[in-house]
Amino acid sequence: MKRQQGMSSLALVLLLLVMGSLILTGLNQRLDVFTQIVSNERVAIVQQADAQSALEWGRSQLWSAAPDVQCRNGPPGRVCLRVLSGDRVLLIAGSGELLLWRGGTIQDNRVVLSPHGWSDFCPLKETALCQLP
């Protein structure tokens, strides 16, 4: 009878080990998911910062009103100026898949960008005009 009591203790220890192993496996899977979420969020924040830097860099450049589309590659990213109808212009800056826009006008054959800041959605009806060429 004393031997059988030892077997039940061993079975209980093994049961605790199996349950602990299952709990740790589940926690590890959740940790992997959260790590992926944090990594994606980090990439999005870096792309947002790069796009905003590119837009500000493009705003400080001297653009001419002559060609309809002008692009420049700067340290923060790619920036293009698109001349639209009616003396309107659109400054487009991108980093990765993220694009930001800033509107403006042509005054005295110079490009003057809007002081009201950038937009994170395409301000035109034709989305093809809002893409980087």
Nearest CA to 57 out of 40, 71, 76, 70 is that of: 76
Residue 133 pLDDT: 85
Which tokens go with 111?
């490009």
pLDDT in tens for each of the 133 residues of the chain? 455 567 888 889 999 999 999 999 999 999 999 999 999 999 999 999 999 999 999 999 998 888 889 999 988 889 999 999 888 999 999 988 899 999 999 988 889 998 888 888 888 888 888 898 8
Residue 65 pLDDT: 80
Which tokens go with 48?
């947002």
Residue 4 pLDDT: 54
Each as own residue / partner, the long-range contacts of residues 34-43 (CB below 8 Å, 24 or more positions apart, any chain) are: 43/96
What's the per-residue H, E or C state across the chain? CHHHHHHHHHHHHHHHHHHHHHHHHHHHHHHHHHHHHHHHHHHHHHHHHHHHHHHHHHHHCCCCCCCCEEEEECCCCEEEEEECCCCEEEEEEEECCEEEEEEEEEECCEEEECCCCCECCCCCCCHHHHCCC
Name the pTM for this structure: 0.75
